[in-house]
């Protein structure tokens, strides 16, 4: 009997812990849906670590399902409305990853602004030793930063940037309690007022292409976009067009529209810093995410309140 089905690829410790909970393992959602009727009928909880779309049709395949426990805070791969309609609970892993994701956002900002990749190459290649100084670059601290989506991670990014003496502006659907950061009622006004725009909203259909050509134009030729949210939030064609024309100063991207394939046009630009969706990828944080996912599953099996329910 398979009460718990684990979908996705987990590290050694998480695999062992899920195994101890009696999980059956499949690599992806397609393999889960392809299990035989009896195996699928037994499943009451799914540990989900996938990028495939857990939609209504996929939920249909698991008639006894009561919980989808997502590994990650972003649950845009799961059709939450469909789950709610079927009384399937969904949990995620918020907060435990805030520091790592905010760290990477700030690191990309510094790397892009101070051209640290090029500077590193300048030393390694021996160019510096030959007597060629590295060109001066832009001062980034003390500038103006905008946070698009002042949620848990957005707040941590802003908090870090405040330590860099940045003037902090933000957009959210409503004003938040802050230490005096400037609220903008629309993303366009935010982009127009800042040098660096950090994208920290949720992914999914409601924020798709929220960062479009018009917003990038408001950010302008001195503007830099940092995205740790989801690739779907940014109109990549519009971003590439502006970067290639010099209508935007640069970008730092941890997420892309068609992961793990980043558009090869990005790699030709020396004004961008590219990361392989690794913002939460430290041993400590991934361990904490796995633990929180399992704590939710254990609470579900024991009939207790879920720790971090989404619906």
**Catalytic positions, please?**
230, 259, 277
Shortest Cβ 73–ligand NAP spacing (Å): 4
Tell me which residue has its CB nearest to ligand NAP: 151
Cβ atoms 89, 311 nearer than 8 A: yes
Positions touching ligand NAP (CB under 6 A) are: 73-74, 94, 97, 101, 149-154, 172-174, 200-203, 206-207, 228-230, 254-255, 277, 279-280
Q: Which is nearer to ligand NAP, 105 or 243 (CB)?
A: 105
Distance CA 239, CA 142 (A): 25
Separation between Cα atoms, residue 195 and residue 187, nearest integer Å: 14
Write down the least CB distance from residue 290 to ligand NAP, Å: 14
Least separation in angstroms between residue 101's CB and ligand NAP is 4
In the complex with ligand NAP, the residue whose CB is nearer, 171 or 196, is 171
Q: Are 45 and 297 in contact (CB under 8 A)?
A: yes
Nearer to ligand NAP, 226 or 243 (CB): 226
In the bound state with ligand NAP, the residue whose beta carbon lies nearer, of 118 and 282, is 282
Angle CA(122)–CA(125)–CA(131) in degrees, nearest 5?
Answer: 65
Q: In this structure, what are the phi and psi dihedrals at residue 219, rounded to the nearest 5 degrees?
A: -65, -40
Taking the least distance from each CB to ligand NAP, the nearer of 35 and 97 is 97
Write out the E strands in the chain: 4-8, 24-26, 45-49, 67-70, 89-91, 144-148, 167-171, 182-184, 196-199, 224-227, 250-253, 272-274
Give least dist CB 190 to ligand NAP, A. 12
Residue whose token pair is 């957009």: 171
CB of 240 to ligand NAP, least distance (A): 20
Residues 237 and 154: their CA atoms lie apart, in Å, by 25
Residue 264 class from Cβ within 10 Å (0-12 exposed, 13-18 middle, 19+ buried)?
Answer: exposed
Q: Which is nearer to ligand NAP, 62 or 75 (CB)?
A: 75
Rounded Cα–Cα distance for residues 12 and 146 (Å): 39
Output the CA angle 178-143-118, nearest 5 degrees.
125
Cα 80 to Cα 54: distance, rounded to the nearest angstrom: 9
Q: Least distance (Å) from ligand NAP to the CB of residue 29?
A: 19
């Amino acid at each position: 009997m398979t009460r718990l089905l684990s979908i996705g690829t987990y590290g050694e410790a998480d695999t062992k812990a899920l195994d101890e909970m009696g999980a059956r393992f499949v690599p992806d959602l397609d393999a889960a849906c392809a299990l035989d009727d009896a195996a699928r009928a037994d499943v009451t909880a799914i540990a989900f670590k996938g990028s495939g779309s857990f939609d209504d049709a996929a939920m249909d395949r698991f008639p006894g399902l009561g919980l989808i426990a997502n590994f990650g805070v972003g649950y845009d791969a799961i059709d939450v409305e469909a789950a709610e309609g079927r009384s399937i609970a969904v949990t995620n892993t918020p907060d435990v990853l805030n520091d790592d994701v905010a760290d990477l956002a700030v690191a990309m900002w510094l790397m892009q602004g101070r051209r640290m990749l090029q500077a590193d190459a300048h030393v390694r290649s021996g160019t510096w030793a030959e007597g060629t100084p590295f060109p001066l670059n832009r001062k980034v601290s003390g500038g103006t930063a905008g946070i698009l989506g002042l949620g848990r991670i957005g707040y941590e990014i802003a908090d870090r940037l405040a330590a860099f003496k940045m003037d902090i502006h933000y957009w959210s659907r409503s004003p938040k309690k802050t230490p005096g950061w400037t609220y903008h009622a629309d993303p366009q006004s935010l982009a127009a007022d800042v040098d660096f725009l950090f994208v920290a909203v949720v992914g999914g259909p409601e924020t798709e292409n929220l960062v479009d050509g018009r917003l990038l134009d408001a950010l302008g030729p001195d503007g830099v976009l940092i995205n740790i949210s989801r690739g779907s939030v940014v109109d990549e064609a519009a971003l590439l067009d502006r970067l290639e024309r010099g209508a935007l100063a640069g970008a730092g991207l941890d997420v892309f529209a068609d992961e793990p394939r980043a558009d090869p046009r990005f790699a030709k630009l020396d004004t961008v810093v590219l990361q392989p969706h690794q913002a939460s990828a430290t041993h400590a944080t991934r361990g904490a995410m796995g633990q929180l996912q399992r704590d939710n599953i254990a609470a579900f099996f024991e009939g207790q309140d879920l720790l971090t329910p989404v619906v």
